[in-house]
Structure 1
């Protein structure tokens, strides 16, 4: 690889070394499994500093192109060494460096925009949503109120909605916050984006769960932030390992109530350790509580609900991200972030710069929907429905696979994980299922360095007949794996 030249700035050198390494991987010059040269030798051959090479390699590692093997060096990952048809394509010419980052992350995370079908994860039940009630609440607004909401509004959100959310969080998730701390946004993805834009700089390091949600990593990488993978155990993110491996990390993003995608719940001791890490390192913790409302209990349906991380003492450096895309439906495009009082104005202005504010009528109806108790009643119905559908999925898949797939029940969430042995191939079966019309996500798709394999099965948004039909297809495929 030719030397980038000594007359470039440090930033340009880093970008060029990174781009040339990535191009070599994507074009096949560096094949999957190839060991990269030691950083000192690599830097000497290029005529650049070792830190320049380390920065480029670390970014490639954060994006999944390479993987570090303890005591054995850095290797081109199997996923990154796949042919270009896998989606790793070069961004179009003419983009800025930030534009290139965004375009590149889009090659790794493409949010679904087709109608959900079994077993796609993250899809709530929408057919039984009380649309008639919603329409009736909308029509109850007086003409003067409608006219007022047709103007430019507070970018932080409708005051009534912020108040309703604050009261709901206290009653449902144990979070004590003032309505002024609630900033309304267009779902949790925009909330993560606002956090990254306002609290992180290019080159900052953020601890993320591995496996974890790729939409979070995409947002971070799009801002030039380095997503640092941290392994999980039965208590969630191993903050002790993360702090040791990435001592300069400025933030951790976690899903503590129901970890996505493995489903584990972070215990109290681990939560306290995470909060202590944030205080000690002057770092932030982002709590993504994407489906924290769906806690079912064991057999009697009476759940001892785990409160939010943000509700614990010492959680002053926690930013809580919530969404109505799961509790109600994704079409609302409404979520919120609970931030410390000193940050509210900055978050509101960042929201204003992006898209001014959320639709006034929708915010007003949602505020009434919450305040009049309709959200509570809807969630009670959905918890019962989802728990019943989970049981149908477990039984149907066990029968269809002749016992090959025995899913473990969960007292929370909207999907189940069937984990496979390490070294298994989970992509092939997922492709076979998709050919048959079934959306079955492989666990490896959500991993950065984790070797864990398996399949994710969403059940919340699908009628029992559809679950059984899809289970017969997957069960037949699973029998062939034995």
Structure 2
């Protein structure tokens, strides 16, 4: 029998979820006619049980805030719109969100970053159990008291000089990018890098070319700043810039993942890369290269594709990198390589946002890179990830009686099992989630694209976890 304390905790969680949803409706973040997220997905994103979310939704339904449509989901009630002004006066401050604030709040309907613990086959989750924490702690302890005291002060918002130098040298050795250390601006990951770019280089109403399907976190950042994300089809060579130039002639920026396109895994060919750079020059536009897992290429060094930013004529490319995939997300460190004329503006934007990254973490990372530990760690992870990808492909083929034969990939941290365009890929994903397996549907990342399938991450899960999850998915596939 649960203890009284456990009952109180459950009740508190239910009330909190209920209050959060009601406040979002009353303040207009969830507008009349908005479809609520499926209860299982909502619960997973909040890190609570599905029953907690169902209780909150059922109470809102009883109060008339939401209405259930059989076979279609739960929606914010149209009838509640007439009562919103009175409700807002009770719970909202005299002046609500600004127009830009509302744009940011509205992104919750398009993208919710996961907060629940990672489990197979969640994408984007690196291996963290074997990270050399002991080595990292030893490097931290080797700093003198004077050095620690210095790092406890306010620091350069562009980043620790040693870290910027280490990153510049690493980019030349690993990705073929020649840049000066002064062009490196340290940030708290690729998401903040995209945010800085959108704030500084785009105005409200500017059009931005984005890959379709593509990463919703990028679109959410752009939309939050009032930019217009314009979807562009993908083919075997990546984003179709020729089509985009005709369809969206006034676009001022393109955001691409050329080394390993997210989520399809396509590598942009050289001719397409050159066409993209030519488009940027002709249209006086920017290209943002998000190299989120470009370090994980499994061929020999001679076979690895260099970064778009390393090509001649790439002066209008801003390169976004992160250590969330190469090391671990908890580090919260990434960087943007920007043209020299923009460095001061980016540093000031960083200062306005959160002043600078933690000094100790930057200093330790600088040593971690300079002393060769990052290179050794990545070599180990490449071997491990390639082996885990093989385990995943073999386990799923066996568990599904051959129905799912996943193609091998020579890069990245996930694989895609694609099916016929327009296929329902949500139902299987919901069934898998109910059984404790994260199986992301490709449709979740599409704007207009009809491409469908499922994404399976393998990097952060050991063989036992992969086999267990494969048995769940295989059983569901056999029942279809």
Pairing partner for 1:280 from 275, 279, 282: 282
Q: How much has 1:82 moved relative to structure 2?
A: 6.0
Deviates more, 1:421-430 or 1:127-136: 421-430
Counterpart residue number, 1:53: none
Counterpart residue number, 1:4: none
Counterpart residue number, 1:391: 390
Q: Is the 8 A contact 2:35 2:73 kept in 1?
A: no
Q: Is the 8 A contact 1:209 1:232 kept in 2?
A: yes
Counterpart residue number, 2:255: 253
What root-mean-square deviation, in Å, do the aligned CA atoms of Structure 1 and Structure 2 show?
A: 2.0
Q: Is the 8 A contact 1:209 1:229 kept in 2?
A: yes
Counterpart residue number, 2:117: 115
Does the alignment pair 1:142 with 2:141? no
1:343-358 aligned within 5 A: 343-358=342-357
Alpha-carbon distance in structure 1 between the residues aligned to 2:75 and 2:169 = 49
Counterpart residue number, 1:84: 75
1:312-327 aligned within 5 A: 312-327=311-326
**Structure 2: runs of 5 or more not aligned:** 1-27, 37-71
CA deviation map 1:273-322 (0-9, x unaligned): 0000000000000000000000002xxx6661100000000000000000
Alpha-carbon distance in structure 2 between the residues aligned to 1:204 and 1:82 = 34
Secondary structure of the residue aligned to 1:326 is coil
Deviates more, 1:301-310 or 1:218-227: 301-310
- Which 4+ stretches in 1 moved above 6 angstroms? 89-92
Secondary structure of the residue aligned to 2:214 is coil
CA deviation map 1:11-70 (0-9, x unaligned): xxxxxxxxx9x9675489xxxxxxxxxxxxxxxxxxxxxxxxxxxxxxxxxxxxxxxxxx
Pairing partner for 1:221 from 215, 220, 223: 223
Q: How much has 1:83 moved relative to structure 2?
A: 3.9
Counterpart residue number, 2:154: 152
Alpha-carbon distance in structure 2 between the residues aligned to 1:142 and 1:471 = 49
Q: How much has 1:96 moved relative to structure 2?
A: 1.2
1:194-343 aligned within 5 A: 194-297=196-299, 304-343=303-342
CA deviation map 1:415-437 (0-9, x unaligned): 00000112210000000000000
How many residues are paired up?
404
Counterpart residue number, 1:444: 443
Counterpart residue number, 2:12: none
Alpha-carbon distance in structure 2 between the residues aligned to 1:180 and 1:264 = 32
Alpha-carbon distance in structure 1 between the residues aligned to 2:282 and 2:74 = 44
Q: Is the 8 A contact 1:295 1:303 kept in 2?
A: no
Secondary structure of the residue aligned to 2:324 is helix
Counterpart residue number, 1:410: 409
Counterpart residue number, 2:39: none
Secondary structure of the residue aligned to 1:319 is strand
TM-score, normalised relative to structure 1: 0.81
Counterpart residue number, 1:470: 469
